[in-house]
Structure 1
Amino acid sequence: MHLKTWLRFSLLLTVVSPFSQSYAQKQPLRLWYQQPAATWTDALPLGNGRLGAMVFGGVGEEHLQLNEETLWSGRPRSYSHPGAAQYLQPMRQLLAEGKQAESEAMGEKYFMGLKAPDDSAYELQKDTWFRSVRAQIEPAGVTYNDNNWPAMQLPTPEGWERVGLEGTDGSLWFRTSFNVPAKWLGKNLVLDLGRIRDLDYTYVNGQLVGHDEGISKKRKYTIPASALKEGKNTVAIQVINFFDKGGFTGVKGTARTLVVYPEGGDVDTVSLGNTWKYFIQNDAPPALPRYEADYLPFGDLYFRFAHGNNSSDYQRSLDLDNAISTVSYTANGVSYNREYFISAPHQCVVMHVTASKPGALSLQAVLNTPHKKYVVKKIDDHTLSLSLEVSNGVLKAVGYLYATATGGRLTVNDTAINLQQATEVNFYLVAATSFKNYKDVSGDPVAACKAALARVKGVPYASIKTAHLNEYHKLFETFSFTVPAGKNSGLPTNERIRQFNMKDDAALVPLFLMYSRYLLISSSRPGTQPANLQGIWNDLLTPPWGSKYTTNINLEMNYWTAEVLNLSTCTQPLFNMINELAVAGHQTAKDHYNAPGWVLHHNTDLWRGTAPINASNHGIWVTGAAWLTLHIWEHFLYTQDTAFLRAQYPNLQGAAQFFEHFLVKDPKTGYLISTPSNSPEHGGLVAGPTMDHQIIRELFRNCSAAAAVLKTDAAFAERLKTLIPQIAPNKIGKHNQLQEWMEDIDDVNDQHRHISHLWGVFPGTDITWKDSAMMKAARQSLIYRGDGGTGWSLSWKVNVWARFKEGDHALLMVRNLFTPAMDDNGRERGGLYNNLFDAHPPFQIDGNFGASSGIAEMIMQSHTGVIELLPALPGELPDGEVKCMCARGGFVLDISWKQGRLNHLKVVSKNGNTCHLKYGAKEIELATKKNGSYIFNGSLNRQ
């Protein structure tokens, strides 16, 4: 953190020591690079909670990829399945009889939520469309003229969407040729194409040699000798893709594809080459029925500079202290500088471009979008607009790009804003959709854009920037974390990731954590939607997992850092979502379980779907609502805000009411169990997964405690207390592990990415060191799971190892995460992209938040009612300091440590509660006053 920031911070909250100042001077909170972004995950994210942008920083052509948080597919509708409840007991009975497959089949047929559009209508439309594209096979012919077809480089591992066909579904033809040597005549040949998404019809010299369907199937077809000729032979392939990624995806590893060789051996091969001709035959297949909607990109803004691509002294950066991205370079002897930020006060993307020489700035600004239905047009002499409609939903969106220049000539037409020979230019982009709430899409995006632009026009750039900085600092400067800088801390960020080790660059740990705070501020503000699977940033019409809200770990992980890292304000969107989900989930509870209260399964979206989705073997998971209510109780514990708790208590109560009804007695053990459900996303549909029982116990305890705080609902609270010991307890299995299920069937070689049965260790409190035997069993389970994993999985493990108080092992998980997401062979893996985004892969933002939570757990834990200092401090992090870390009970802490030992502690009591402190073997109890401040030395002695 910059020194000036520390000084401002100190006036608000604490005293800055020379110790912390020395750290601050060495560690600017900045991501920086010496080259433009080559991919989306190299670009730098900006956001104000509602608007998002990814800045690529090109020289000759700049690219900002844009998002607006409410632009989704789909529409307001009912997701739950009326009448599903009649199959609940039969499914339970099948599970009780050990007939898992039969129960899953029943659930798949009768218990899943509703899709849109309806399956039966879709099948008729699909059949008609499919027959029409299959009737047109002229491109398979040998003499077909494909001279005017464009070319594509194959394979396309991420689908043809990543090579220029974003949003394209339907039927495409691909053509190439290969030469057959004379020695192969009379032999059958093997045509090896790798994997294809989804359906292919493959022809050689006009003859169909094979077809298949499925994204996981490798295509190897036999070409009969009779179909071949010496010399040139033509291959034509019709690839039909109904939804999501399409095309030739290759294979993992080094296996060869797109080759031809004689049957019986693959040593002597002929390559089909990488350049194929292609033709889009029909890109309008009927809309595929979907359980839930997708978060969609808004569009793209390009600046095309007259100075071209040649430059020197290039640098692009993201300043976390100020939420500003900059690009600077020299071209033709002129220094150019760009500043980008997204203002919350003015609700716009702000772009400020300058040249050091008067009249040296000439550029063209162009708006585009991957959506098919769009219009770009001139609004006035300073403004260009982009209007669009989503293809598979009801929402409309509009963006206005407004420009003002110093010097030169600014003109606007229906395609671009053109600037000639200026010295400085400011661009302001505003955007809105027709979304008003999850039931209402009657908003007027044009009116919203005009109103937003009116607040910008006539306001100096410096004033807009100052307003942005003042608002942002109020959020970001509430916390800091510093450690001594190592020799690599001055390297470009991509090099810091590539060369990461704790000895040379321990400062990457606090940079990563502070970046996670920046990401939460940028994607979750009061009045906005919660951070989704990718926060607020997405460039694909078919993003991974819909870029929606996965509630069996990912949505909750997004908010693990919010309270402890002093960003409680950023949780407001989550609680607003809970209010809405409780309404939608009440209907699902009735339709699927004939139960009171509310329920949420493992995913939701903008329209607040709460019913089971995807498949019965993992989609029928009942504890999403119960898990989300943990955040209600946690927010109260940190803030002591009883007004908040009173407003949210009905959601806690409703989730508990559902489970009071839902739990049934297990005939084998006599315990109450959760059935049917799932241990996410592992082991299929079962009765009594351990995770469910941990979450439900926690819910009942929290709801009872909330009722006591509010002095209400005493009878209900007592009923919950009597139910808690009746719920099936955690069990230790034959491998000394914590069982994941009722049966002792854990596989010690299973390294599944989910560690669901360890929920009770973290984020829950169902298992603590008060029960050391159970804690050790949980530890054994995590050892069996291994130290590998995808981004968010590694992040969860950081937290659990910290709760085990094994800081070195927790840090090992951080080190495993701090590896380049692309290996030396160009394959993606769990780790970090160049812009510090977490790689599942692909990108999921939960890993950024989750790992930062684990780092916080190394420094301080307060989940047992005792504030424990440095409970899991790694040996490789011997010196450091945090300021304004929050603890449950309403306390704010400054903690410094040297040589692995506590050095200094300051406690501020926000509410005057009794404070229990623990460091090592020493534990003290402190009576506090509201807003009182208390100083301790490294031995917990008052100063």
Structure 2
Amino acid sequence: MPKGDSRYSFWILKKTTKFLSYIMITLKYSKLLYLIICFLGNVITPCYSENSLVLKYQHPATNFGEALPIGNGRLGAMVYGDVFKEKLSINDDTFWSGEPKNWNNPKAKDVLPQIRKALGKGEHQLADQLAKQMQGPYNQSYQPLANIDIAFEENGTPTEYVRELDLNRAIAKVSYKIGDVTYKRSYFSSFPNQVIVLRLEADKPGALNFNMGISGKHQRKVFINDNLIEAYGKAPKHVDPNYLNTENPVVYDNLDEGKGMNYTACLQIAETDGKIIPFKDKLQIKNATSTTIYFAARTSFNGFDKSPSVQGANCKKRTYDDLEKLEGITYNALLDTHISDYQTLFNRLDFSLGEEEDNRYIEMYFDSFKKGENNYLPVLAFQMGRYLAISGSRPHSQALNLQGIWNENIRPLWSSNYTVNINTQMNYWPILPTNLFECNEPLLDLIQEVSQTGKETARINYGCNGWVAHHNIDLWRQSAPVGNYEGEPCWANFSGGGTWLTMHLWEHYLYTQDKVFLQERAYPILKGAVEFLVDWLQKDVEGFYVPPYAVSTEANFITPNGYQGSCAKESAEDIALNGELFLNFIATCDTLGIRDALYYKTKDLLQHTRPYWIDPEGKIQEWMEIGLDRPKGYNKNHLSHLIGFHPGRHLIAQNNPDYIQAVKRTLELFEPGPSSGGWNLAWKISFWARMRNAGKSYEFIRRSMERLSPNLLSGGTNFQIDANMGYVAGVCEMLAQSHNLNEQGLMVIELLPALPKEWPSGHIYGLRIRGGFEIDMEWKDAKITKLVIKNDRHQGNPSIEIVMNGKRFVKQIPYQSKTMII
């Protein structure tokens, strides 16, 4: 291996570590040498080679499923890379249709007892009809912002074309030759500087000639000012969901000062050795060798509870402020700052399945994986998920929506909103285990904000204290049921969205051990969610706390008399979600030393939560009424009745082997068909990993890879980011699990619980587990050969139970230590 290869230092480290290990054995594990090894392990960190983790292509993108995503959390772009007509489609994560509105329904609390009464009589059809009366308006849609259009004047046939996305540095590139001139383009979206940067170059003086402009579906005005193009636009004041067939689905306010989100976008020639010529609404650049271009944009968004048209921020001033901050900064300085910022996050985790990256084009990796010849595609997809997280979710940005931050449609699939009956949650499952704590902040902000709007929904709709959120949330933090009085209750009237989101608060604490966060941010929100359930649930004749009605997310049952419906007395999903909340709130109080009336009430609620049922087929019963089940052949996407098995632990905590067997049976009977959604396949990876069934987990790894588009986004033009993120979470679950406690209350870390035979050797460095620990692990022939556990967050000297290589033992991992286990 040549010294110039950046893997060389890590190769030397491995050889040195192995040599020192032999000496350690000879000297009976000298503490001094152990400290030397730990020191070397900290100083020389693993890194990827210069050519690794690069998605390479031999042709431009022709559609969204081939374009390359870049982003800084707020500003995202899809880069197409055409030789003569380049296009970057741009998004700003605050550019949505609509404004804050009154979505609550005061009539709902009068309907609620009628639903309970109908269900008491077995009148499910009446209950469904009444549930629709409790709904409110649909929420709003995430919008495309603008396009950057660049037309190049070169003539001739391009050769040596390469388009690539460098995951190691978060840069998209294009290069090609025309005649004897080589042209290069580089694109990145800078988080520190909050702009998108374009660099265009030719290797012959004066060979670069092009014109550029800004266009957009919502654009209204364009101005040219010397070296800058300024565009202004306005989002619709209302957009119907894409699944509605309406006469006027997109509604604009014709007045510039009317309702709707405003934006300003600027495209600035920051540096060029060519001549700049304004031409109509474009800028021409003649006879340049290199040109640096900045794209800056801001919207009038000023908070989820403020009108962007009346109380909005000054988007023009904020856009120009972003550009002014760049004055005097060179392109290389911007690039270095961008790479440094990105790699601070990305380089925390290194994953390999023993395959050497050989600089192939992406289609070759798809082909070799399909043939079983190469495992590099799963590694690329894993790190692509982490790349998307860093590019789409950063402090002070919005949370990842259904499409992350990348959307080109005015009426995107499912409004590209926050679907909180699994999709938003799945987006954030891998964030903590893959060492990206900062990327969790936008989700925590969303939960905080919807807990505020949800207080009014709880009070007005249901007469309850606390807060509640339902099926969909948008930028304006709509917390009430959607459906517009006609939506199927199985999705529109789902009231557990907020309860499910609170799981992420306790998980954030488990991974970070941040008691300040737990006390100041998590506890008040958890408390509000419990307060809602205290009022929402009532004791039935059997002594269990039950809801007025329940649904199982996006699933209908069929009654013995043939009615297909949604609303039932209780569902296993409710049992799981409520149980998770009660467990997490009690654990939070225990951690913070809180012993008040709500604490003891929550313990009572947990004690009197109905046990899970096992139905005649041996699976977990979905609705807690005898005779209710999904129709045969009905959709098998949502497995909400298994939430207590994954991502939760409430079902596992019952310590009932019959429940685990029933989960297994449910998974077998709900085997997804060929048309199943990518997020469904991803969820199955984690389910089977918790079952320790490596073969089934790998089956869904394979099926997930088959759904990837050439740009590694799942679903292509029907892209939903949840599948990408759920896949990453599933791989983490296959490699390490930390959700269990043993009989003494110690956390159990199980390593390689679902390692498939296709992955006999590999390593993962920087994987986080609950308890505040980080692990570095290597394995060969399916046996762990190296394990180091770092405790940089859990104060004191905690002990954990480790399960690995067929053995089970307890080990103390002192705070601020790096403990070599093997």
Q: TM-score range by the shorter chain?
A: 0.7 to 0.9
Shift in Å, 1:818: 1.0
Counterpart position of 2:323: 453
Counterpart position of 1:728: 610
What is the SS of the residue equivalent to 2:414? Answer: helix
Counterpart position of 2:533: 659
Q: Deviations over 1:198-224 (max 9, x none)?
A: xxxxxxxxxxxxxxxxxxxxxxxxxxx
Q: Following superposition of structure 1 onto structure 2, how do residues 701-850 of structure 1 map, counting pairs within 5 Å?
A: 701-744=583-626, 745-747=628-630, 749-768=633-652, 770-788=655-673, 789-819=676-706, 831-839=707-715, 842-850=718-726
Q: Following superposition of structure 1 onto structure 2, how do residues 125-140 of structure 1 map, counting pairs within 5 Å?
A: none
Q: Deviations over 1:419-463 (max 9, x none)?
A: 011100011000000001011222001000110000112211001
Q: Distance in 2 between matches of 1:891 and 1:499?
A: 35
Q: Distance in 2 between matches of 1:693 and 1:655?
A: 15
The structure-2 alpha-carbon separation of the partners of 1:612 and 1:703, relative to structure 1 and needing over 3 Å to count, comes to same
Counterpart position of 1:569: 438
Counterpart position of 1:149: none
Q: Following superposition of structure 1 onto structure 2, how do residues 279-678 of structure 1 map, counting pairs within 5 Å?
A: 291-308=138-155, 310-371=157-218, 373-378=219-224, 380-392=225-237, 393-440=259-306, 441=308, 442-485=312-355, 490-501=359-370, 503-614=372-483, 615=487, 616-647=489-520, 648-667=522-541, 669-678=542-551
Shift in Å, 1:40: 1.1
What is the SS of the residue equivalent to 1:294? Answer: coil
Shift in Å, 1:664: 2.3
Q: Does 1:693 align with 2:578?
A: no
Shift in Å, 1:719: 1.4
Q: Distance in 2 between matches of 1:14 and 1:908?
A: 13
Q: Is the 8 A contact 1:384 1:412 kept in 2?
A: no
Q: Is the 8 A contact 1:60 1:309 kept in 2?
A: no
Q: Deviations over 1:609-665 (max 9, x none)?
A: 011112134211111111111000001011110000011211001001111211123
Q: Distance in 2 between matches of 1:713 and 1:531?
A: 36
Counterpart position of 2:26: none
Of 92, 109, 115, the residue aligned with 2:116 is 92
Of 85, 98, 107, the residue aligned with 1:83 is 107
Q: Does 1:890 align with 2:772?
A: yes
Q: Is the 8 A contact 1:626 1:696 kept in 2?
A: yes
What is the SS of the residue equivalent to 1:873? Answer: coil
The AA in structure 1 aligned to 2:537 is: L
Shift in Å, 1:795: 0.6
The structure-2 alpha-carbon separation of the partners of 1:902 and 1:8, relative to structure 1 and needing over 3 Å to count, comes to closer
What is the SS of the residue equivalent to 1:696? Answer: helix
Unpaired runs of at least 5, structure 1: 116-290, 820-830, 938-943
Alignment RMSD (CA, Å): 2.4
Q: Deviations over 1:327-359 (max 9, x none)?
A: 000012200000100011111000001001000
The AA in structure 2 aligned to 1:375 is: K
Q: Distance in 2 between matches of 1:40 and 1:681?
A: 28
Counterpart position of 1:44: 68
Shift in Å, 1:689: 1.1
The structure-2 alpha-carbon separation of the partners of 1:496 and 1:920, relative to structure 1 and needing over 3 Å to count, comes to same
Q: Distance in 1 between matches of 2:39 and 2:98?
A: 49
The AA in structure 2 aligned to 1:36 is: P
- Between 1:60-69 and 1:681-690, the stretch displaced more is 681-690
Q: Distance in 2 between matches of 1:704 and 1:512?
A: 37
Counterpart position of 2:19: none
Counterpart position of 2:554: 681
What is the SS of the residue equivalent to 1:527? Answer: coil
The AA in structure 2 aligned to 1:860 is: A
Q: Distance in 2 between matches of 1:840 and 1:666?
A: 48
Of 868, 890, 901, the residue aligned with 2:750 is 868
Shift in Å, 1:511: 1.2
TM-score normalized by the length of structure 1: 0.76
Identity %: 32
The AA in structure 1 aligned to 2:337 is: A
Q: Deviations over 1:871-911 (max 9, x none)?
A: 11111111110001111111110011001111110001122
Q: Distance in 2 between matches of 1:498 and 1:88?
A: 55
The AA in structure 1 aligned to 2:86 is: E
Q: Distance in 1 between matches of 2:39 and 2:78?
A: 35
Shift in Å, 1:750: 4.2
Q: Deviations over 1:112-150 (max 9, x none)?
A: 12x3xxxxxxxxxxxxxxxxxxxxxxxxxxxxxxxxxxx
What is the SS of the residue equivalent to 1:41? Answer: coil
Q: Distance in 1 between matches of 2:408 and 2:425?
A: 23
Q: Deviations over 1:63-108 (max 9, x none)?
A: 1000011000010122211232111110111122222221121221
Q: Distance in 2 between matches of 1:473 and 1:4?
A: 19
Q: Deviations over 1:687-736 (max 9, x none)?
A: 21101111101101110110111112433112111211211211111011
The AA in structure 2 aligned to 1:686 is: A
Q: Distance in 1 between matches of 2:602 and 2:231?
A: 54
Of 727, 732, 735, the residue aligned with 1:856 is 732
Shift in Å, 1:52: 0.3
The AA in structure 2 aligned to 1:549 is: Y
Q: Which has the larger radius of gyration?
A: 1
Q: Is the 8 A contact 2:778 2:785 kept in 1?
A: yes
Q: Deviations over 1:751-809 (max 9, x none)?
A: 52111111111100022383221111001101111143210010111110101011111
What is the SS of the residue equivalent to 2:785? Answer: strand
Q: Distance in 2 between matches of 1:501 and 1:881?
A: 22
Q: Distance in 2 between matches of 1:87 and 1:13?
A: 64
Counterpart position of 1:159: none
Q: Deviations over 1:358-401 (max 9, x none)?
A: 00000011110011x511111x2110011001132521000111
Unpaired runs of at least 5, structure 2: 15-35, 238-258, 557-565, 741-746
Shift in Å, 1:408: 2.2
The structure-2 alpha-carbon separation of the partners of 1:489 and 1:727, relative to structure 1 and needing over 3 Å to count, comes to farther
Q: Is the 8 A contact 2:87 2:149 kept in 1?
A: yes
Counterpart position of 1:899: 781
